[in-house]
Structure 1
């Protein structure tokens, strides 16, 4: 009888250990999940962020539906340079309002969560991506007799731009602007199919992008795999440009 009681007690103790082990395992999984979500949120908020390309304005550098990674340390902790490809919030009047797509509640909740931790880029249509041509104080104009853009009086040869067949001028419209302090002049690489600073001069910001509107600098194409590559800023193009007077 005593042996039966001892066996039952040992069995109960073993079941208790298994239950405690299972609870500890579930607790550890929950802790790992929460930590992973927190780390992902901090990375997305302060370090890097994913976007997809919704338009043709940066072809052939970036194609529609390319996924890019953006360095959010630029410009707060890392310098901004001419030639950088940047993502920024609409300065006002650049984007046309579009209705939010309807999603089933579960899909919307999943998309919201993935966006929170940086795995979704559902807000890409609310941002723009262009190349920085003029920094604060720069004088940017086009076109000289060779059809080039000039910055602070120095014409630049832009190997990254796409022009229509037979076209030689870097812009379909002439312009001459002085970039205000704390603002940028940006242009798309697909010069004849980009609603950039040139074509937003009738907006409140007169086509200039406040530096405070920047999300960061795009530095790599992350998807599709066949297009994995760094996004060049072409420092040699802008190497000879003097500082603004």
Structure 2
């Protein structure tokens, strides 16, 4: 006999132990255990199987983790080590910076004031020694958990972009599109360009003009005006923008664009380009949510 909890009356079952179509919140232990004389059950055996399954799946989990790390390094963010003093005091020798590699995939290009990492555009690091990493360092660099010591990359500040007119004369400030830059990030005691004046000249398409913050200790665009690129860095050589000083923890900080590059009349084109990348990223991020909501709504309608 089963008891209907709603009425409290006894009602007959058509088959032993169960009302037709009813569900039971309480089940007989005999349906789930097949204990022998020793009191063992399949429940304990199931636990052992799950433990063995975890060890079998561990290599797969490690493989997925490494793959994700590699994808993050390739498309999202990568760590780089600062080997020189050319960006002091913004960056110190030995700092580790995280470089945003995602936004260039959405058409964003370097903007004035950004600190960027770029591949050697043509002999800038010629003659510079390259450390020989061990096997472990190579592996960690490959998956992005450690900066690569083999790649010949540089880090400088973007001063001017395609279409800009840039110049600097002895005793004067750097000028972009006729606007003098107030550069508080320059290393104390340095002048904007007294050691190497330049311009005025117009930055070609798909090129940028870069300079180190330690102006008297930076072999930047000023010192390579005779190379095949005229001292400019091709945009396709740019790895990404350095956004955070991540190590050592005592120096953790972000790397924002200085206010001097927000002067009226100097940054109109850059503003439009900067907003384009976040908009594209937002669209891509929203797409899965929209599709999920459409599928959920469709399911409710069908029900």
Bigger relative contact order, structure 1 or 2 (CA pairs below 8 A, ≥6 apart): 1
Q: More deviation in 41-50 or 229-238?
A: 229-238
- Stretch deviating more after TM superposition (92-101 or 37-46): 92-101
| Counterpart residue number, 1:158 | 183
Q: Partners of 1:15 and 1:226 in 2: how far apart?
A: 50
Where does 1:74-113 land on structure 2 (aligned, <5 Å)? 74-77=103-106, 78-98=108-128, 101-102=131-132, 107-108=134-135, 110-113=136-139
Deviation, structure 1 residue 85: 0.2
Q: Aligned ranges for residues 181-200 of structure 1 at < 5 Å?
A: 181-200=205-224
> Residue 113 of structure 1 aligns to a residue in which SS?
helix
Instruction: Give the match for residue 94 of structure 2.
Output: 65
Residue 251 (structure 2) pairs with residue 227 (structure 1): yes
Partner of 1:148: 173
**Displacement of 1:170 after TM fit?**
3.9
Q: List runs of 5+ in structure 1 lacking aligned partners.
A: 1-5
Q: Which residue of 2 aligns with 1:175?
A: 198
Deviation of the 1:20 alpha carbon: 4.2
Listed one character per residue, the Cα deviations across residues 103-138 of structure 1 (whole Å, up to 9, x for unaligned) are 5xxx41x22221122101123761000000010011
User: What SS does structure 2 have at the residue aligned with 1:31?
Assistant: helix
Alpha-carbon separation, structure 2, partners of 1:162 and 1:132: 16
Residue 65 of structure 2, aligned match among 33, 36, 46 = 36
Secondary structure at 1:122's aligned position in 2? Answer: coil
Unaligned runs of 5+ in 2: 1-35, 270-303
- Deviation, 1:15, is 11
Worse-superposed segment, 122-131 or 92-101 = 92-101
Q: Give the direction of change, closer, same or farther, for the CA distance of 1:52–1:175 in structure 2 (3 Å limit).
A: same
Call closer, same or farther: CA 1:50–1:102 in 2, change over 3 Å: closer
SS for the counterpart of 2:54 is helix
- C-alpha contact (below 8 Å) 2:110/2:235 kept by paired residues: no
Q: Which of 122, 127, 136 is 2:153 aligned to?
A: 127
Q: Which is greater in Rg?
A: 2
Give the aligned CA root-mean-square deviation in angstroms: 2.7
Structure with the higher helix share, 1 or 2: 2
Aligned counterpart in structure 2 of residue 26 of structure 1, from 55, 58, 64: 55
